[in-house]
Chain A
Amino acid sequence: MSFLSISDATKSFGANTVVKGFDLAIQKGEFVSFLGPSGCGKTTVLRMIAGFETPTTGKVMIDGRDVTQLAPNKRRIGMVFQSYALFPNMNVFGNIAFGLKVAGLSKTETEDRVQEMLKLIGLEHLAARYPYEMSGGQQQRVALARALAPRPQVLLLDEPLSALDAKIRVSLREEIRDIQRKLGITTVFVTHDQEEAMSISDRMVVMNSGRADQIGSPAEIYNRPSTSFVAGFVGTLNILKAKVTDLAQRQVFVGGKTIVLNERIKSSDSNLLLALRPEALSLTPSARQDVAVEGTVSHVNFMGSVIRIRMDVDGEKIVFDMFNTPHLTPPTIGQRALAHFSSADVFEITA
């Protein structure tokens, strides 16, 4: 039995349907991310869980209880906002204590709990600061502590890292994950950053125009995207043109060679598109790389530990990285080169 479930939820604003038939069941203690471009409906689903939106149809259940019509302040949910949304007229202590005060906790209980929370986020020394006196990262940690202080059943994070600098973004996401693991709290995290979603989640929901395109672990989603949208949105993809040689035997012709695909061919005509992750390609073949395509090197970007190479292959641009070593001579622009890959790493993608 799942702890938090959304079943067949739809949300329309007037004629505009932003969430369509959304189904999701989340286990207790699980960390689930909603990933998708802006306007895909991920925030609307989050706000349905919070109670700020009522689904047009469908149900939201928390811990076996139907909360679809329940007001937000009755749901025992913690939420962290992109803009921090700390109360500007209260200091850190006051902000964290807010939920405890409205819950009617005694003064000593409140103080103890706030101290505990301050310790959890490592900001014990800033209890008297006002929001304007803190950095964005500090404010967002306080917002997290404020959300967690009343011991919510579910924690919702609405793009909590988007307003922060790149460096803080990485360190804070690790901190959030650590705290979540420590408390074992069921968490939903909304983001448009695929790297963030993959690095932090137990499971991801990739959303596209109001629907959940794919739900799965980060590895599943990255390695076996179920739709071309997912494949394109998560990670970088290289596209190769190929021809079907034998539909029944799943044989296609690419790179001067006939290879066998892992899955059934979906394309209805003889042309099809094959997709490859950048890390499946290299200039120097390894033992399992059995196919190669030829192209012209168009860009060589030296990035330190890796070198990013772009090649034109039959009018398609492909990108891949090679690791830097002290003795390596990178290819030169305009040079013809072979990009090697394994036929086992290729998957078909529909346009």
Chain B
Amino acid sequence: MKRSIPILPAITAIVAASYFLVPLFATFYFSLKMTRGTLSFASYQSVFQSDEFLATLGYSTLASLAAIVMGAVIIVPTAYWVRLKLPKLRPLVEFISLLPLIIPAVVLVFGYIRLFGSNSYLPMTSTDHGTNLLLVFGYVIMSMPYMYRAVDNGMAAIDISTLTEAAQSLGASRLRTIATVIFPNVRASIIAGSFLTFSISLGEFVLPSLLNRPAFGPYLVQLGQDRAYEPAALAIMSFGFTWGCMVLMQAFANKKPGQGVLPRLPFLSRKERRA
């Protein structure tokens, strides 16, 4: 039991770190070589000059944001209600919310195409709006495991039923309880879940590809087939973007209620309390 130098763990960590970092470095290095003979950010410029890049990124951002809002609207009340009133339903709700983890996206979207096809009872895919909505719903389903986990953990951490009882014994209506007590306390978890949702759906390929949506994932694949350097630049940017999402998510997930990450949030909660 010598604790001086943990040689084996150190070697393991170094090997793992190289496995993780070398591809990133290689990609970055490759992305700089677009201009023959020198290293430059030409590939990045080229990416940003593409209209299709901006259009597809914009589309996917919008779809992802919509999925986040929808997901929160469906999952937060459910998680709250199940914890508060229907604990017996919890295993079922948990099972359903975790199901998408093992259902491949391609199976899910196949079901959508058949079930909501042009000659079905609910022909969502026959209009653009319908298909867009279907895409968003698909993202809600795919991110449900993460959103539900995040929100449910957040609620577990603050003992939702005692808080609710305390608020109601002080005379708060249920609406006010939820708006001023529960929501501010689980807001950080919701935001954490949101960033996860965002990082999953932004570059997702299968759903928009099979629903024929002009999204970022299919654009990436197409670009990968047509170009050499831009995909590397995009890979680096997308890694950086995912990293940003994760850092923000962790910042929110570890944040204590009332302590602000963004300056806007504490102000908001103060206003809510006064209301």
Q: What A residues does B1 contact at CB under 8 A? A: 51-52, 71-72
A52 CA to B3 CA, complexed, in Å: 10
* A:60-84 near B, CB below 8 Å: 71-72
Task: Write the B1-28 contact mask toward A (1 if CB under 8 angstroms, else 0).
Answer: 1000000000000000000000000000
Residue interface mask B180-222, A partner, CB < 8 A = 1: 0000000000000000000000000000000000000000000
Whole-angstrom CA separation of A72 from B1 in the bound complex? 8
CB distance from B6 to the nearest CB of A (A): 16
The residue in chain A whose Cβ has the minimal distance to the Cβ of B3 is A54
Question: Measured between alpha carbons, how far is A71 from B2 in the docked complex, in Å?
Answer: 9
Closest Cβ–Cβ distance, residue A204 to chain B (whole Å): 30
A51 to B1, CA, bound (A): 9
Expressed in whole angstroms, the Cα–Cα distance for A71 and B1 within the complex equals: 6
Minimum CB–CB distance from B4 to chain A (whole Å) comes to 10
- The number of residues on chain A lying at the interface, defined by a beta carbon within 8 Å of a beta carbon of chain B, is 4
Smallest CB–CB gap between B82 and chain A, Å?
26
For residue B3, give the distance in angstroms from its CB to the closest CB of chain A: 9
Tell me the nearest residue of chain B to A73, going by C-beta. B1
Interface string of B111-151 (1 = CB under 8 A from A): 00000000000000000000000000000000000000000
Q: Quick one: closest B residue to A72, CB to CB? A: B1
Minimum CB distance partner of B1 in chain A: A71
Give A52 to B1 CA distance when docked, in angstroms.
Answer: 8
Give the distance in Å from the alpha carbon of A51 to the alpha carbon of B3 in the complex: 12
Q: Separation in Å of the A60 CB from the closest CB of chain B?
A: 14
Whole-angstrom distance between the alpha carbons of A72 and B3 in the complex? Answer: 14
Query: Smallest Cβ distance from A246 to chain B, in angstroms?
Result: 59
B residues less than 8 Å from A52 (CB atoms): 1
Q: Mark A11-55, 1 if CB is under 8 A from B, else 0.
A: 000000000000000000000000000000000000000011000
A305 to B239, CA, bound (A): 74
Minimum CB–CB distance from A298 to chain B (whole Å) comes to: 36
Min distance, Cβ A269 to any Cβ of chain B, angstroms: 50
B256 CB, nearest partner CB in chain A, Å: 26
The answer for the CA separation of A130 and B1 in the assembled complex, in Å, is: 29
Provide the bound-state CA to CA distance between A51 and B2, in Å. 11
- Say how far B237's CB is from chain A's closest CB, in angstroms: 43
* Chain B residue contacts of A71, Cβ below 8 A: 1
Roughly how many angstroms separate A84 CA and B1 CA in the complex, as a whole number? 22
Q: Which residues of chain B are near A51, meaning CB under 8 Å?
A: 1
Give the distance in Å from the alpha carbon of A76 to the alpha carbon of B227 in the complex: 69
Contact mask for chain A residues 323-341; partner B; CB cutoff 8 A; 1 contact, 0 none: 0000000000000000000
**Interchain CA distance A72-B2 in the complex, whole Å:** 11
* Residues from chain B with Cβ under 8 Å of A72 in the complex: 1
Distance from B120 Cβ to chain A, minimum over Cβ atoms (Å): 51
Q: How far is the CA of A71 from the CA of B3 in the complex (A)?
A: 12
- CA–CA, A57 to B1, complex, Å? 18
Within A128-160, the residues touching B (CB, 8 Å) are none
Least Cβ distance of A219 to chain B in Å?
39
Residues of chain B from 157 to 171 with CB closer than 8 A to chain A in the complex: none
With both chains docked as a complex, state the minimum distance between the C-beta of B231 and any C-beta of chain A, in angstroms.
49
Chain B's nearest CB lies how many Å from the CB of A156? Answer: 16
Bound form: Cα–Cα A72–B169 in Å: 56
Chain B min CB distance to A74 (Å): 10
Residue ID in chain B nearest A71 by CB atoms: B1
> Which A71-121 residues sit within 8 Å CB-CB of chain B?
71-72
Residue in chain B with minimal CB distance to A52: B1
Nearest CB on A from B2, distance (A): 9
Query: Which residue of chain B has the shortest Cβ distance to A51 in the bound complex?
Result: B1
- Report the minimum CB–CB distance from A71 to chain B (whole Å): 6
**Complex: how many Å from CA A52 to CA B2?**
10
A153 to B1 Cα, complex, angstroms: 21
A binding-site residues for B, Cβ under 8 Å: 51-52, 71-72
4 contacts between A and B (CB under 8 A): A51-B1, A52-B1, A71-B1, A72-B1
Which 4 residue pairs across A and B have the least CB separation, nearest first? A71-B1, A72-B1, A52-B1, A51-B1
